[in-house]
């Protein structure tokens, strides 16, 4: 984070600075996490507000922190390293918070956007229109408002006969007549820095909560003879705050609806929008299909024509064109074009499937490249390995990568056939075109083209069941079979031995 003084801009863009008020306790969340760090759609509440203001290109961004300040500052360093965190030691109200912010940038003048930190549905377009309305009317301050069906708990906009804004009245301080107003304060304002500073200097705590309300700035400016404007948001959802977890869930749903609507309009099939969740940070190409129960999170991208789901979670994953991922959980995996995953598989970070590769049912992978057209069809663990092209890994193969202290790598060549239930004890290399016999424990390298057999020879103890388990259904079945054949049954004799002792 920069020093406050270093961030003061020299030119005069449409907005000189953005101030986010984010010091409040958020008591109603009943959480040890500061309110503005709760997340929806892949970003924190604060992250959404910063993203909406970002396109303004303001030279200075100030975030007022207080409750949980260490956590908020740490988060800011990640999501907005250019922002300046300013500490409001005591939460004495939104007006006090704004004053603390402006005191930290004393040289700043020109238009300043002030935003509550808990408005996660605010969109860049809406902010841009507010800024434009402010510029066009030349008001001292313009507040973003919305017409809502239920204004409960929100500040009401009181307008004069000429349509300009006269004041904002908080619900707890409002007269019954003012309470019936359905135009509310969104908590997003743009005002001339000098005018706002002046009004903040005169703000009182003469209200029901004994706090310094930023909203009083409007009435004070009007008293001075300045003009205050109110710009009505096109979509009232944009201005919805978030004060408890019920509201958080409602905002999350609204945000998700927006993301899915945009995807569907861009050509993505979303089979069941109610059970599909996509972060604002994900991308999905046209003609991709998201089946019910799909969650796309973080930086996940799904290319066109891919099918994801049902019941699949992808976090920071990349899915190529025409690939399919069914009932699986993938973290940081890259799934190449035409590759297939699932059902019921777990792909962990470092997994990379080349074109047309397959990771089938009940397979866990980590840190592995699976070459073009290679297959791991069933019930395997594949970790710390590279697999060449056109290879097949038999069912229930385990890449034994961990000796209890360190991880080791396995290298599988092109067109290798690993037999079912093979243990590949790393570090180990299986050369191009080699085979391993089912049930082998491979501890040494296998040269190209060899068949590795590493298992105990089979021993059949003839008649054992009749002698040692007599009277059981197994013994009866064996006896019947022997009688039919006229001799004790033998079975395969190659590489095995039939004993008669015991
Ligand atoms: C505020 C507005 C209200 C508006 C509503 C929109 C005030 C007095 N009222 O009410 O008119 O309709 O938002 O959602 O502003 N904050 C600080 N320091 C403080 C107190 C608050 O930084 O000492 C921050 C909070 O973190 C929050 C913002 O200011 O982001 C607004 O505070 P909050 O308590 O949420 O105000 P509301 O009651 O929601
Ligand atoms: Ca609020």
**pLDDT tens digits for range 76-100:** 999 999 999 999 999 999 999 999 9
Which residues does ligand 1 sit against, CB inside 6 Å? Answer: 21-24, 64, 66, 88, 91-94, 96-97, 116-118, 154-155, 168, 170, 184-187, 213-215, 241, 243
What's the pLDDT at 12? 56
Gap between the Cα atoms of 256 and 233, Å rounded: 20
User: If you average pLDDT over residues 470-497, what whole number do you get?
Assistant: 77
pLDDT surpasses 50 at 115:
yes
Q: What are 187-233's pLDDT values in tens digits?
A: 999 999 999 999 999 999 988 889 999 999 999 999 999 999 999 99
Query: Which of 38, 46, 94 for mutating ligand 1's site (highest number of atoms within 8 Å of CB)?
Result: 94
Residue 6 has pLDDT above 60, yes or no: no
CA distance 382 to 59: 49
By alpha-carbon position, which residue is closest to atom 37 of ligand 1? Answer: 154
Report how far ligand 1's centroid is from the alpha carbon of 185 (Å): 10
- Rounded to the nearest 10°, the torsion over CA 470, 472, 477, 480 is 40
Q: Is 21 annotated as a binding residue?
A: yes
pLDDT at position 499 is 60
pLDDT, residue 14, reads: 87
**What region does 355 belong to: left with phi over 0, alpha with psi -120 to 50, or beta?**
beta
CB atoms within 10 A of CB 486: 6
Predicted confidence at residue 5, as pLDDT, reads 46
Residue 155 in this model has a pLDDT that exceeds 60:
yes
Q: Which helix (H) or strand (E) segment is 216 a member of?
A: helix 216-223
- Mutate which of 20, 24, 151, 209 for ligand 1? The one with the most ligand atoms within 8 Å of its CB, which is 24
Higher pLDDT, 489 or 333: 333
What's the pLDDT tens digit per position in 349-407?
999 999 999 999 999 999 999 999 999 999 999 999 999 999 999 999 999 999 999 99
Question: What are the DSSP calls for 233-290, one per residue?
Answer: -SSGGGG----SHHHHHHHHHHHHHHHHHHHHHTT-EES-GGG-EE-TT-EE-TT-EE
Ligand 1 centroid, distance to 46 Cα (angstroms): 13
Q: How far apart are CA 490 and CA 284, in angstroms?
A: 59
Residue 391 annotated in ligand binding:
no
348 in a labelled binding site? yes
**Distance in Å, CA 239 to ligand 2 centroid:** 10
Q: 256 labelled as ligand-binding?
A: no
Output the pLDDT for position 3. 46
- The predicted structure's pLDDT at residue 472: 98
Q: What is the mean pLDDT of residues 28-32?
A: 95
The residue among 499 and 283 whose pLDDT is bigger is: 283
Q: What angle do CA 443, 444, 446 make, to 5 degrees?
A: 125
Question: Over 70: is that where the pLDDT of 484 sits?
Answer: yes
Q: Provide the 8-state DSSP code for 337.
A: T
Average pLDDT taken over every residue of the chain: 94
On the question of pLDDT at 2 being above 60, the answer is: no
Q: How many other C-beta atoms lie within 10 A of the C-beta of residue 170? A: 19
Atom 31, ligand 1: residue with shortest CA distance: 116
Residue tagged 């973003």 (tokens)? 144
Nearest CA to 363 among 319, 416, 337, 325? 325
pLDDT in tens, 323-357: 999 999 999 999 999 999 999 999 999 999 999 99
Query: Which ligand sits closest to the CA of 187?
Result: 1
Q: How far is the CA of 274 from the centre of ligand 2 (A)?
A: 27
**395 annotated to bind ligand:** yes
- Average pLDDT of 115-129? 97
Q: What is the pLDDT of residue 7?
A: 45
Mean pLDDT of 265-280: 98
- The DSSP output letter for 76 is H
Ligand 1 pocket mutation pick from 29, 36, 63, 116 by most atoms within 8 angstroms of CB: 116
Residues 6 or more apart from 85 whose CB is under 8 A from it? 1, 62, 63, 65, 69, 72, 73, 76
Taking the CA of 85 as reference, the closest ligand is 1
Catalytic residues: 378
Q: Which residue has its alpha carbon closest to ligand 1 atom 28?
A: 116
Q: Assess whether pLDDT exceeds 80 at residue 160.
A: yes
Q: Cis bond leading into 406, ω under 30°?
A: no
pLDDT for res 456: 94
Check residue 498 and give its pLDDT: 60
- pLDDT band for position 486 (cuts 50, 70, 90): confident
Q: Residue 497: its pLDDT value, please?
A: 58
Return the bridge partners of 114, or none: 19, 189
Question: In the predicted model, is pLDDT for residue 170 greater than 50?
Answer: yes
Confidence of residue 487 (pLDDT cuts 50, 70, 90): low
Residue 25, pLDDT score = 84
Ligand 1 centroid, distance to 29 Cα (angstroms) = 14
Which atom in ligand 1 lies closest to the alpha carbon of residue 185? Answer: 12
The pLDDT of residue 121 is 98
**From the CA of 71, how far away is ligand 1's center (Å)?**
20
Q: Is the confidence at residue 281, as pLDDT, over 80?
A: yes
């Amino acid at each position: 984070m920069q020093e406050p003084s270093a961030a003061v801009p020299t030119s005069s863009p449409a907005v000189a600075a953005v101030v986010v008020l984010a010091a409040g306790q958020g008591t109603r969340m009943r959480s040890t996490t500061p309110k503005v760090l709760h997340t929806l759609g892949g970003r924190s509440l604060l992250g959404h507000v910063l993203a909406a203001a970002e396109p303004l290109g303001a030279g200075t961004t100030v975030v007022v922190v207080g409750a949980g300040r260490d956590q908020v500052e740490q988060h800011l360093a990640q999501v907005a390293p250019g922002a300046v965190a300013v500490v409001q030691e005591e939460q004495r109200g939104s007006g006090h918070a704004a004053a603390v912010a402006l005191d930290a940038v004393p040289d700043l003048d020109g238009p300043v956007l002030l935003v509550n930190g808990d408005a996660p549905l605010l969109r860049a377009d809406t902010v841009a229109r507010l800024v434009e309305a402010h510029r066009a009317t030349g008001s001292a301050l313009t507040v973003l408002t919305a017409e809502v069906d239920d204004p409960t708990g929100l500040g009401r906009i009181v307008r004069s006969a000429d349509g300009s804004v006269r004041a904002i009245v908080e619900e707890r301080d409002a007269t019954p007549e003012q309470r019936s107003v359905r135009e509310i304060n969104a908590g997003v304002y743009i005002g001339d820095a000098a005018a706002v500073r002046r009004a903040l200097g005169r703000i009182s705590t003469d209200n029901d909560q004994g706090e310094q309300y930023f909203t009083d700035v409007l009435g004070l400016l009007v008293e001075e003879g300045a003009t205050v404007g109110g710009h009505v948001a096109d979509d009232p959802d944009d201005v919805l705050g978030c004060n408890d977890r019920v509201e958080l869930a409602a905002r999350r749903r609204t945000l998700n609806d927006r993301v899915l609507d945009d995807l569907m309009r861009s050509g993505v099939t979303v089979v069941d929008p109610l059970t599909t969740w996509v972060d604002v940070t994900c991308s999905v190409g046209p003609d991709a299909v998201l089946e019910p129960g799909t969650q796309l999170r973080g930086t996940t991208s799904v290319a066109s024509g891919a099918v994801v789901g049902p019941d699949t979670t992808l976090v920071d994953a990349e899915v190529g064109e025409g690939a399919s991922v069914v009932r699986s959980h993938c973290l940081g995996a890259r799934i190449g074009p035409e590759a297939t995953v699932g059902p019921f598989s777990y792909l962990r970070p470092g997994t990379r499937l080349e074109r047309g590769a397959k990771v089938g049912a009940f397979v866990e992978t980590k840190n592995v490249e699976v070459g073009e057209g290679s297959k791991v069809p069933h019930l395997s663990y594949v970790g710390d390995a590279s697999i060449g092209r056109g290879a097949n890994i038999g069912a229930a193969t385990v890449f034994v990568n961990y000796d209890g202290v360190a991880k080791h790598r396995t290298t599988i060549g092109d067109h290798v056939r690993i037999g079912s239930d093979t243990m590949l004890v790393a570090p180990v290399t299986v050369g191009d075109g080699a085979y391993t016999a089912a049930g082998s424990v491979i501890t040494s390298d296998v040269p190209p083209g060899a068949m590795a057999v590493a298992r105990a020879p089979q021993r059949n103890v003839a008649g054992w069941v009749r002698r040692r388990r007599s009277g059981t259904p197994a013994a009866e079945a064996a006896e019947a079979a022997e009688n039919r054949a006229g001799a004790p049954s033998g079975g395969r004799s190659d590489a095995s031995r039939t004993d008669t002792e015991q």
